[in-house]
Amino acid sequence: MHASFRRRYLDILNRTLNPLTLAAAKRGRGPFSVIRHVGRKTGRTFETPVILAGHPDGFIAELTYGPGVNWYRNITHGGGEIEHLGATYRILSVESLDPGEAVRAFTRVQRFVLRVLRRRDFRLIRTSPVPSDPRAWARP
């Protein structure tokens, strides 16, 4: 995809589709989760809707638009949080993941779509749960 066309395409998605999917993710509806991250240049907090698959160590993300998208670059440089089905998780680290292993974590329908689209760029996002009660962090 040509760089300027790709940028315009992503801008349109950010203004139209992302607000709808973000609202669904925050309500725990549909396949979406929210990645909360801080901009590398602006210092602003952003929320990005994504489809993640569960993993014993966190979550698996398929990088639909490649590793150059802002949410991915931000979490690899500054961490962030994931909101998934009403629970919040702190991002500890991000690492590449074998496509064969990664695709098995998704639902049957998602696996079919990923294979048809020949998706091969997956990341394991290692997380830890964030207690809902701030007093849970206090040491006795």
Higher local confidence (pLDDT), 7 or 89:
89
Model pLDDT for residues 20-56, shown as the tens digit of each residue: 777 777 777 667 899 999 999 999 999 998 989 999 9
Q: Judge whether residue 134 has pLDDT over 50.
A: yes
Q: Judge whether residue 8 has pLDDT over 50.
A: yes
Residue 137's pLDDT is: 45
Region 5-23: what's the mean pLDDT? 69
- Secondary structure of residue 57 in the 3-state scheme: coil
The mean pLDDT of the chain is 85
Residue 29's pLDDT is: 67
Residue 20's pLDDT is: 72
Per DSSP (E only), the strands in the chain are 32-38, 45-55, 58-62, 81-84, 87-97, 122-129
Domains and CATH numbers, the chain: 3-130 (2.30.110.10)
Which of 51, 35, 140 has the alpha carbon at shortest distance from 88? 35
Interatomic CA distance for residues 60 and 54, integer angstroms: 6
Region 66-84: what's the mean pLDDT? 93
Residue 3's pLDDT is: 65
Report pTM: 0.79
